[in-house]
Structure 1
Amino acid sequence: MRKLFVILIAALLGPLYAVAQGYQITVKLKNYTSGKFFLAHYMGRTTYLADSADVSTTGDAVLKGKEKLLPGIYLLVLPGKQQYIETLIDRQQVFSVSIDTADLVNKTVYKGSPDNDLFLGYNKFLFQQESLSRSIQTQLQTAKSAADSAKVLPLQKELGKKIEHFRNDFITQHPGTILSTIFLAMKEPEVPQPPAGADSSFAWRYFKSHYWDQVDLNSDRLVRTPILEGKLKKYFTQLVVANPDSIMVDCDEVIARTRKSKEAFKFVLWWLTYNYESSPYMGMDAVFVHLVEKYYVPGEAFWLSNEQLNKIVDRAYTIAPNLIGKQAAPLEFKDSSNNMLSLYKTPAKYTILVFWDPTCGHCKTELPRLDSAYRASWKRKGVTMVGVKTEGTREEWLQFINEHHLSGWVHGSDPQAATNYRRLYDVYSTPMIYLLDDKKKIVAKKLGVEQLQEFLDRDMARSEAQKH
C-alpha cells in the first residue's frame, strides 16, 4: 500500500514547470548575509521544494529557471526554514521582493508583481483583524459555559462578514486575477428558501449540485494551492453518498470538469485514486478499480511512466476479483489431516474465511476473539469458520489450533500456493477476513469481530424481513 502511494505522489509531482519563457524572483533580505533561501509550492495541502538559492553577503538571492512555474501559491522560505511568506505565481514571473523579518506583512515590498501587491493588501487587511480574532479565541478558550460561548458568536459572525465582504469586493474589482480565482473557489453555495412542496433534502441537493459552480477547474491555477484538495475532501466526505456506485458517478462528473486543464485533471484523478485505494472503509476499493479501468488502462494518465502505470494497473487487477458482490474465487486446500477440502464444497449459510499466520502478532489476538464470537453467537446462526494458513510451519499451525481450541473450524493450508490465493484474495497482510453468503459471494471483508457481528445481525434481520 505504501509503495503504491510513493509511486502515485512521485508521478503527481512530475516536472514542476510548464513550458514557457522562464521565471526570475530576485529577493532582498534585511539582516541576512548568508544561508540558503528556498522556494516551495503547495500540492494540495502539502508543500514541496521547487527551487533554492544562496544568500549573498549583501542579503540578495535570485531564484530562476528556464521554464515558467505552474501558477499557484508558493512559499518564500527564509534561511533556517523558520519563517516564510506566501507569494502568488501566475503569468508575471519576473519580479523582485524585499523582505524584512521585523514585520513580514507590513514591511514586505514587491516590484513588478501586481498580483502580489494585491495579495499583500489582503494579508494586511487580515493582519488588521488580528486583535479581534485573538479576542474571540481567548473568550472561547476561557468560556465556562455554553452561554459564555454563545456570547462570542456575534463577534465571530462580524469577523466572518468582514472577510467575506473584502473578498467579494475584491472579486468585483479585480476579475480574472489569480487571487479572485482563489476567493471564488473558497465561496460556498448560498441555499435559497425551498420552494413550496420541497422535501427535506432540498438544501443538501441544492448545495451539492452547485458546489463546483465557482471552482475554476478549467485552468491550472488551483492545483498548487491548498484550496482544491480541501474542496475535494469536503465534497467526497460530506456531500457524496457513501456508496461505491454513487461515488463512481461523482468521481466521473468532477473529473469531467477538469478536461480543459491537464494539471487539474492530473491532480483530481491522483487525489481520487489515492483516496479510494487507501480508504479504510469497506467496499471503497471498487472505486479505485473503476478509476484505474476507466482512466489508467486507456492511457489517460499521461504523466506516468510505463513502469508506474503497470504497477497501478496490476494493483487494481489484484483487487478486482475480490470486490464486494463478486463470487469468491475457488479455493482448494489440505486440512490438518492432509485431506483435500474445497471452499465450494463446504456448505454454510455464511462462511467467514480467515487467512492467518500462527506467528503473526495480530492473528494471535484476533483469532481467539473470532472463535469466542463464533461459539457464543455465530455458530447457531449458520456460520462456518474456514481458516487458511499463510505462513509458519505445520507444527506452529497445529500447536496454535490446539492451544486455542479452534476445534469448530475448518482448517486448511496450501503450502505450494497452488490456488494462487494471495492474488485472488489480495492477501497482503494477516489476518485477512472475508464474509461469504450461502452462494459463496463476497458480502463483506476486512472486518473486525465487532463489525462482523453488526453486519451479520443486520444482514440476518434484512433476510427475515424479506421473508415476511
Structure 2
Amino acid sequence: MNRFFALLLFIPLFTQAQFKITVSRTKDPVYFRGTLFDEKNYLAKDTVRGTLLTSKTPIKGGIYYLQFAPSKERIYFNIENNDKFALTFSGPAYVASAHSSDPKNEVFLNYQRLEKSFSVIDSLYQVEIARGRKFKFAEKAAFFQSKTAALVAFRKKALATLPPSSTLALYFKSLNTLDESVPSRTDYAARSKFFSRIPFSDGKLLFTPVFRSLLVEYLSYYPLQADSIRVGVEKAMSKIDCGAKSYPFVFDYFSSVMKNRNIVGNTEGYAWFLTKYGVGNACGAFTAAQKKAFKEEAEKLSALKSNAVAANIVLKDTAGATQDLHKFASENDYTLLMFYAPTCDHCQKEVPEIDSTTSVISRIMNLKIGRFAVCNDPGVSRAVWLDFISKYRVNTNVLHVDLPANSPLRSTYDAFSNPTFYLLNRKGEIVAKKISPTTLRKYFAGLQSSRPNVP
C-alpha cells in the first residue's frame, strides 16, 4: 500500500502525559487540536510541520483531532495516558482511508465513516432551516430517525469492546444519552432520567465535543422562565467541582443562558447567577478582579427594578428636535424602548422583527404601543442612521433619538450591547426588561389571559 502520509502519536508515561508526534511525507498542512467545551483549548493550536512535533503542555485523556488544509477535513481520535499508536492514510480522502494500530481508534474511525455516510440527511436538514422551517424537538428527532438509529446501534455494539474507562466509551455513552432524549418541558420523569445519565463527575467529559450539548439538552427540558431555568442550573452546578478546570467553562455557558433575552425574567436570573456562582465561588476559580466585575454587574442589573419608573431620556431626534421618553410614554398604552446600532448585524434582524411583533400585538389587543428608539452607536453618521430607519421600515409610531458617546444612560440601562429592549407602561414604569420578540409575545399573552378585556 502506498501510504503518502503516516502519523505516529507517542504518549510518554506521565500522570498527565505530554505528547510527541512524528510525521512523514505530509501532503497537506495538518493542525493538531483538542476538542473542549466552548472550543477553548488547553493545548496550543499546533501546526504539524516537518517530521516532528513536540510539546511540554500537559494533556488529559480526551478526544482530539487532526484538521487538514485546505479541505478542513477532520480525523478524530481518542488519546489516553500511556497510549502509543499509529494513524496511517492511503489516499486523499482522509477519513475514508484512515487506519489505526490502536483497536479503540480503529472503532472510532469506522464510526466516523458511518457518520459521514449520512451527510445527505444533515444537508437536507440545513436546507429546511435555510427555508425558515422551525423544528420542534419531536419533529427534529423524526427527521434524523434513520441516522440516529444506525449510530446508536453502532455505539451500543462498540461499547461491548471498548475499555470502560476510555474517553471514547464515555463519549459514546453520552451520545446515546443525547440521541435517546426528546426534551419535553412537562415530562419531569424524562428530565430527571436524562440528568441521572450525564456523567458530570468524570473530568474527561470536558475533553469531548459533547459536553456543551449535554448541558443544552438538559436545560431544554425546562420552560423559558428564569425561575424554572434556575432549578436546572442549580442541579447541574451541584455536580461540577467548583475548583475544577471545567467550572469556568460551565460558568460561561450558564451565564449566556441566564441573560438570554428569550427567557422571561432574565435580568433577575442573571444577577442571581453572577452573585451565587461568580462572586460566591470559594474554590479559587476566579480572581479577585473577576469577582469584583461580577459583583458590579449584578448590582447594576439589580438596579433595573420592575415597576420602577424608568430613568428619563431627553435627547435629539433625527430632525434635531428634543424628545422626552416620559412624555412619549404617557401618550401610549405601552412603549417599547429600543437601544440599537444601525451597523449591528443582530439589530438589522431583530429590530424589524420586534417592531413587526409590536404591530401585531397592537392590532390584536387594540393597544397603542409606541417605540422610543435610541441610536446606541456613537460616531455613526446621520446618513447611515437614516438609511437604517428607511431600509428596515422602523417608522410606525416611533421616535428615533441619538445617544451621545459616554452618556450615563448607557450604564443606567445596561445598554452596552445591541440590541437591548425594555417595555414601559403609560406611567413610564419598566414592566419587562431585556426582552426579545418571544418574551414580548409572552408578556402580552399573559396579560391577556389574566385580563381578558384588556385594555
TM bin, normalised by shorter chain, reads 0.5 to 0.7
Residues 136-194 of structure 1 deviation map (CA, whole Å, 9 limit, x = unaligned): 99999xxxxxxxxxxx99976873563143144246xx322222222222233999xxx
Partner of 2:134: none
Residues 300-343 of structure 1 deviation map (CA, whole Å, 9 limit, x = unaligned): 584545555555554444433336x4534443758999999794
1:258 and 2:240 matched: yes
Instruction: Work out which of the residue numbers 186, 189, 205 in structure 2 matches 1:206.
Output: 189
Q: How far does residue 55 in structure 1 lie from its aligned partner after superposition?
A: 4.1
Map 1:126-205 → 2, pairs under 5 A: 127=113, 159-160=150-151, 162-170=153-161, 174-188=163-177, 204-205=187-188
Q: State the distance in 2 between where 1:223 and 1:83 align.
A: 23
Instruction: Work out which of the residue numbers 242, 252, 256 in structure 2 matches 1:270.
Output: 252
- Give the alignment's TM-score, normalised by structure 1: 0.64
Q: State the distance in 1 between where 2:444 and 2:450 align.
A: 10
1:66 and 2:56 matched: yes
Q: State the distance in 1 between where 2:115 and 2:22 align.
A: 28
Residues 338-372 of structure 1 deviation map (CA, whole Å, 9 limit, x = unaligned): 99979499768844153569999979x96xx69x9
SS at match of 2:64: strand
Q: How far does residue 439 in structure 1 lie from its aligned partner after superposition?
A: 6.4
Partner of 2:133: none
The alignment covers a number of residue pairs equal to: 404
Contact 1:435 1:443 in 2 (8 A): yes
Q: State the distance in 2 between where 1:385 and 1:134 align.
A: 45
Residues 87, 157 of structure 1: CA spacing in aligned structure 2 closer, same or farther, 3 A cutoff?
Answer: closer
Q: How far does residue 66 in structure 1 lie from its aligned partner after superposition?
A: 3.1
Q: State the distance in 1 between where 2:254 and 2:435 align.
A: 23
1:442 and 2:397 matched: no
1:91 and 2:81 matched: yes
Q: State the distance in 2 between where 1:233 and 1:181 align.
A: 18
Q: State the distance in 2 between where 1:190 and 1:240 align.
A: 18
Q: How far does residue 255 in structure 1 lie from its aligned partner after superposition?
A: 0.9
Amino acid at match of 1:75: Y
Q: How far does residue 269 in structure 1 lie from its aligned partner after superposition?
A: 1.7
1:52 and 2:46 matched: yes
Q: How far does residue 292 in structure 1 lie from its aligned partner after superposition?
A: 1.0
Instruction: Work out which of the residue numbers 196, 208, 211 in structure 2 matches 1:228.
Output: 211
1:24 and 2:19 matched: yes
SS at match of 2:44: strand
Residues 424, 379 of structure 1: CA spacing in aligned structure 2 closer, same or farther, 3 A cutoff?
Answer: farther
Contact 1:42 1:225 in 2 (8 A): yes
Kindly, what percent of the aligned residue pairs are identical? 14
1:462 and 2:450 matched: yes
Residues 118, 305 of structure 1: CA spacing in aligned structure 2 closer, same or farther, 3 A cutoff?
Answer: same
Q: How far does residue 209 in structure 1 lie from its aligned partner after superposition?
A: 0.3
Residues 386, 277 of structure 1: CA spacing in aligned structure 2 closer, same or farther, 3 A cutoff?
Answer: closer
Instruction: Work out which of the residue numbers 411, 416, 420 in structure 2 matches 1:423.
Output: 411
Map 1:29-40 → 2, pairs under 5 A: 29=24, 32=25, 37-40=30-33
Residues 408, 128 of structure 1: CA spacing in aligned structure 2 closer, same or farther, 3 A cutoff?
Answer: closer
Q: State the distance in 2 between where 1:385 and 1:279 align.
A: 18
Instruction: Work out which of the residue numbers 200, 204, 216 in structure 2 matches 1:217.
Output: 200
Map 1:313-462 → 2, pairs under 5 A: 313-322=295-304, 325=306, 327-331=308-312, 333=314, 343=326, 350-352=333-335, 354=337, 381=367, 420-428=408-416, 432-437=420-425, 441-445=429-433, 455-456=443-444, 459-462=447-450
Amino acid at match of 1:248: R
Q: State the distance in 1 between where 2:290 and 2:397 align.
A: 45
Q: State the distance in 2 between where 1:101 and 1:26 align.
A: 19
Instruction: Work out which of the residue numbers 110, 114, 127 in structure 2 matches 1:124.
Output: 110
Instruction: Work out which of the residue numbers 260, 264, 271 in structure 2 matches 1:289.
Output: 271
Contact 1:321 1:425 in 2 (8 A): no
Residues 431, 37 of structure 1: CA spacing in aligned structure 2 closer, same or farther, 3 A cutoff?
Answer: closer
Partner of 1:43: 36
1:76 and 2:71 matched: no
Partner of 2:9: none
Residues 386, 71 of structure 1: CA spacing in aligned structure 2 closer, same or farther, 3 A cutoff?
Answer: same
Q: State the distance in 1 between where 2:168 and 2:201 align.
A: 16
- Give the alignment's TM-score, normalised by structure 2: 0.65
Q: Which runs of 5+ in 2 are unaligned?
A: 1-13, 126-142
Amino acid at match of 2:204: R
Residues 311, 437 of structure 1: CA spacing in aligned structure 2 closer, same or farther, 3 A cutoff?
Answer: same
Residues 173-229 of structure 1 deviation map (CA, whole Å, 9 limit, x = unaligned): x322222222222233999xxxxxxxxx89822210011223221132011211111
Contact 2:310 2:430 in 1 (8 A): no
Q: How far does residue 104 in structure 1 lie from its aligned partner after superposition?
A: 5.2
Q: State the distance in 2 between where 1:155 and 1:306 align.
A: 51
Amino acid at match of 1:88: N
Residues 117-147 of structure 1 deviation map (CA, whole Å, 9 limit, x = unaligned): 313234336647987x68999999xxxxxxx
Contact 2:36 2:209 in 1 (8 A): yes
Q: How far does residue 268 in structure 1 lie from its aligned partner after superposition?
A: 1.7
Q: How far does residue 287 in structure 1 lie from its aligned partner after superposition?
A: 3.1
Partner of 1:146: none
Contact 1:40 1:74 in 2 (8 A): yes
SS at match of 1:247: helix
Amino acid at match of 1:212: F
Residues 288, 390 of structure 1: CA spacing in aligned structure 2 closer, same or farther, 3 A cutoff?
Answer: closer
Contact 2:338 2:419 in 1 (8 A): yes
- Larger gyration radius, structure 1 or structure 2: 1
